[in-house]
Chain A
Amino acid sequence: MKAVANYNFAYLDEQTKRMIRRAILKAVAIPGYQVPFSSREMPMPYGWGTGGVQVTASIIGPDDVLKVIDQGADDTTNAVSIRAFFAKVARVATTTHTAEATIIQTRHRIPERKLEAGQILVYQVPIPEPLRFLEPRETETRKMHALEEYGLMHVKLYEDIARHGRIATTYAYPVKVEGRYVMDPSPTPKFDNPKMHRSEALQLFGAGREHRIYAVPPHTDVVSLDFEDHPFEIQHFEEPCALCGAEGVYLDEVILDDRGGHMYVCSDTDHCEERRDAGFVGVLGMQEAAE
């Protein structure tokens, strides 16, 4: 017989997938609560999405269509390799189009296009504990979650205002889920926080190194923490996307030369491409077409 590598469907063995699905079900039942699970070694280093990959591997079926983004982009290393990984071990269809995907694994962005019922967004989470940097003891933070003692979270925001005159936290901005658990939305920019609120899609969070899974079921309240006199607000950009002219989307700054030249482009590459295909053009989009 020829020696071939025998992978189970979607890499993980069935018992592991059952274990992770049980954790996911529990997480969905208690929105925002961090469920411990027995994280497996994955063929990639920690910090590259081992938690997200395990969640995706446990929920993916042969009919699913997978999209993977890294900082909003479909074509960066992390996104390309995870997409290739599932194309190989699960032989699923992959896509870069948000609308076509049934599962979207993401590192630090939520797509600009509104997610719909039936879609699942899987987040890769480096540090699931929002209280970690204020209270390093895990025994204590668990107790604080259990007793709903979240005053400390506001101490962090207070410090921000005292130092910078405004809440300067721009990513991993803490949220309260369904009026109960305070949750770290993974290092997504706070621009994306409002998209989590009552989203039609199921949102799953996997932290591989930290062995935690948590979830926000569809139509769940997700409220960003703030002060009455310093309300939560998202980032605003002064210029539109240089390629597609989009406004009200999250933009990346791209340095063009060593003389201060820069441009702003959509962080969500699929959104930008779709707009350009539809005929929208930004300031620098014309040049690109001309070249």
Chain B
Amino acid sequence: MSDEPLLKVKNLTKYYGARLGCADVNFELYPGEVLAIVGESGSGKTTLLSTLSANLEPTSGEALYRMRDESWRNIYELSEAERRFLTRTDWGFVHQNPADGLRMTVSAGANVGERLMAVGDRHYGRIRDTALDWLGRVEIAADRIDDQPRSFSGGMRQRLQIARNLVTGPRLVFMDEPTGGLDVSVQARLLDLLRQLVGELGLSAIVVTHDLAVARLLSHRMMVMKGGHVIEAGLTDRVLDDPREPYTQLLVSSILQV
């Protein structure tokens, strides 16, 4: 991990009219670090993720991002063209429902290749080779490259979505419940894959989840949210093994044990 952060978030606040989404969020994210945001439904974690990924304008506060040229930019002050370019090259966004992040009517290869074509790659053979390579890395058989994601299982779709996001070598990936809706064995395989990819590529990631096991496996640090506020933050193992806030204690103790 580098000494300089990749993202600095300062006093980020989002109101929907008079209703609070999330308030006064502060944190720094370092290269190669995975941050989990946990909390119950309605705690503001998805609002926070949407705001961080520049899908929503914050009401106040800023998020400074270290661009590839090492300059610090407030992501909310980028022009729309710059922001859209950033989100499809240096960032990734893995949706809970793969249909939201994939083009369901074009083949797996085109799904992976889209970002390459968007940044100007115009060589079919190269795009296809890269797509094949990425399908292999997310454990999708090469002979499925021309199939549409409609014919894929839930787990395969999610892995395809991950490949599609990682193909441009992003430095920061946002994930919204990446294992939600998958059965337990598929979840385990996906988590394994994600952990491996994050390690290999030195990605930074911000993962929203309500599943503490996912947070435990994937993240280095975590933030616990309740009612739009971050009530506890720290190293994942510390927070889960020694929760300080009553709400966090409740959350940890309500994990089902088999």
Residues of A within 8 A of B (CB): 134, 143, 147, 149, 151-152, 154-155, 158-159, 161-163, 226-230
Chain B residues near A151: list those with CB within 8 A.
114-115, 117-120
A149 and B110 form a contact (CB under 8 A): no
Closest chain A CB from B63 CB (angstroms): 21
B124 and A155 form a contact (CB under 8 A): no
- Complex Cα gap A154–B116 (Å): 10
Of B80, B107, B124, the contact of A227 (CB 8 Å cutoff): B124
Q: A147-B81, A227-B124, A229-B124 are in contact. Are A158 and B119 (CB under 8 A)?
A: no
Closest chain A CB from B134 CB (angstroms): 15
B122 in the interface (beta carbon within 8 A)? yes
Q: A155-B117, A158-B109, A158-B110 are in contact. Are A228 and B146 (CB under 8 A)?
A: no
Chain B residues near A226: list those with CB within 8 A.
122
B19 in the interface (beta carbon within 8 A)? no
Chain A residues near B124: list those with CB within 8 A.
158, 161, 227-230
Q: A151-B118, A162-B146 are in contact. Are A227 and B103 (CB under 8 A)?
A: no
- Complex Cα gap A147–B86 (Å): 13
The residue in chain B whose Cβ has the minimal distance to the Cβ of A167 is B124
Chain A residues near B127: list those with CB within 8 A.
158
- Complex Cα gap A226–B124 (Å): 9
Closest chain A CB from B200 CB (angstroms): 26
> What are 23 A-B contacts with C-beta separation under 8 Å?
A147-B81, A147-B84, A151-B114, A151-B119, A154-B117, A154-B122, A155-B103, A155-B110, A155-B113, A155-B114, A155-B117, A158-B124, A158-B127, A162-B107, A162-B109, A162-B110, A163-B107, A163-B146, A226-B122, A227-B122, A227-B124, A229-B123, A229-B125
By secondary structure, the B interface counts as: helix
- Complex Cα gap A159–B125 (Å): 13
Chain B residues near A155: list those with CB within 8 A.
103, 106, 110, 113-114, 117
Most buried by B among A154, A161, A163, A227: A154
- Complex Cα gap A158–B81 (Å): 25
Query: Which 7 A/B pairs are nearest by Cβ-Cβ distance?
Result: A151-B118, A154-B117, A227-B124, A151-B117, A228-B123, A147-B81, A158-B110
Closest chain B CB from A179 CB (angstroms): 13
B118 and A158 form a contact (CB under 8 A): no
Chain A residues near B125: list those with CB within 8 A.
229
Chain B residues near A230: list those with CB within 8 A.
124
B84 and A158 form a contact (CB under 8 A): no
A-facing residues in B52-96 (Cβ within 8 Å): 80-81, 84
Closest chain A CB from B50 CB (angstroms): 18
- Complex Cα gap A162–B123 (Å): 13
Of B81, B110, B115, the contact of A159 (CB 8 Å cutoff): B110
The residue in chain A whose Cβ has the minimal distance to the Cβ of B105 is A134
- Complex Cα gap A147–B146 (Å): 29
A158 and B146 form a contact (CB under 8 A): no
Q: A163-B146, A227-B122 are in contact. Are A158 and B80 (CB under 8 A)?
A: no
Contacts A152-B114, A158-B124 known; 17 new A-B pairs at CB < 8 A:
A143-B80, A147-B81, A151-B115, A151-B119, A151-B120, A152-B118, A154-B122, A158-B109, A158-B113, A159-B107, A161-B124, A162-B110, A162-B146, A163-B146, A227-B123, A229-B125, A230-B124
